[in-house]
Amino acid sequence: MTTTPIAERTTSVAARATDLSKIYGQGETQVVALDQVSIAFRQAEFTAIMGPSGSGKSTLMHCVAGLDTFSSGSVRIGDTELGSLKDKQLTKLRRDKIGFIFQAFNLLPTLTALENITLPMDIAGRKPDKQWLDSVITMIGLADRLKHRPSQLSGGQQQRVAVARALASRPDIIFGDEPTGNLDSRSGAEVLGFLRNSVRELGQTVVMVTHDPVAAAYADRVVFLADGRIVDEVYEPTADSVLDRMLRLSGGTPQTP
Ligand SMILES: Nc1ncnc2c1ncn2[C@@H]1O[C@H](COP(=O)(O)OP(=O)(O)O)[C@@H](O)[C@H]1O
Ligand SMILES: [Mg+2]
């Protein structure tokens, strides 16, 4: 097995959008949801996307994840240009290369935790890498819950199952739209910790939409959207530095302690 040098690993790009625009409707009802957005998501980096409601966060995530079409520009996952793919190829790329975590856990109630975790791979007819799966399950602390059904698990545990499901196929990139939006702060902190560990320890690439500065502080960088454009970016964020930027961007004055 060959290993990639760290320097190379940290500079390779898992996904990229270039001059990405998404326009809904026409004429007077036209909405520019994304206005020529260019952004790269580097491998083994955890990015949080923030911005006011309606700023284009979900649209950006959905377009880069191949869940939605765009009006102009381009999106690449690894070396693959999404615009060049037919529907079937896009479905396959989504299944094989991309993991998703939603606000609603989206687990199947009749399946056990383990069956839920391996379901996407079962559908794809792929055998999970046993060692990888074990390390994911251990990291997420679910080893003694694998035979439980979702109804027998707390919300936090269910979302941990959903995180394990996203990680199981070792996707090139994981997207989460408000993945902690339905969790209490303690369960949310656990899930965010696991996402961060998957980046630090397993080299995963994670992109997460959130409106919560505390959640964003788990990321390596925070990208701020407003009116469909990237307006700011913070590396090594803290909840305070994120809140400060949010206030500044909204025209408010940061509070002095
Ligand atoms: N299906 C749609 N039809 C028309 N406009 C839409 C649609 N989806 C989103 N929009 C508009 O696009 C903009 C960005 O939406 P969205 O990406 O959902 O924002 P966010 O996730 O940041 O709240 C908003 O103005 C929203 O009203
Ligand atoms: Mg949204």
Edge-first strand listing for the sheet containing 80-81: 31-42, 13-24, 72-77, 80-81
pLDDT digits (tens, 9 = 90+) for 248-257: 888 766 555 5
pLDDT digits (tens, 9 = 90+) for 150-203: 999 998 899 899 999 999 988 999 999 999 988 888 888 988 998 999 999 889
pLDDT digits (tens, 9 = 90+) for 67-103: 999 999 999 999 999 989 999 999 999 988 999 998 8
205 neighbors 41 (Cβ within 8 angstroms): yes
pLDDT digits (tens, 9 = 90+) for 125-141: 888 889 989 988 988 88
Q: What is the distance in A from the centroid of ligand 1 to the CA of 180?
A: 20
Q: Where are the alpha helices (DSSP H) in 86-216?
A: 87-97, 113-124, 130-140, 155-168, 185-200, 213-216
Q: If you average pLDDT over every residue of the chain, what do you get?
A: 90
Q: What is the distance in A from the centroid of ligand 1 to the CA of 23?
A: 9
Which CATH code, of 3.30.450.90, 3.30.300.130, 3.40.50.300, 3.40.50.150, is assigned to 46-70+84-250? 3.40.50.300
Q: What is the distance in A from the centroid of ligand 2 to the CA of 185?
A: 20
CA trace torsion 204, 210, 214, 219 (10° rounding)? 20
- Ligand 1 lined by 116 (C-beta under 6 Å): no
- Residue range 2-17: mean pLDDT, rounded: 68
pLDDT at 142 over 60: yes
Which protein residues have their CB within 5 A of the ion that is ligand 2? 58
- Ligand 1 lined by 21 (C-beta under 6 Å): no
- CA 51 to ligand 1: nearest atom: 22
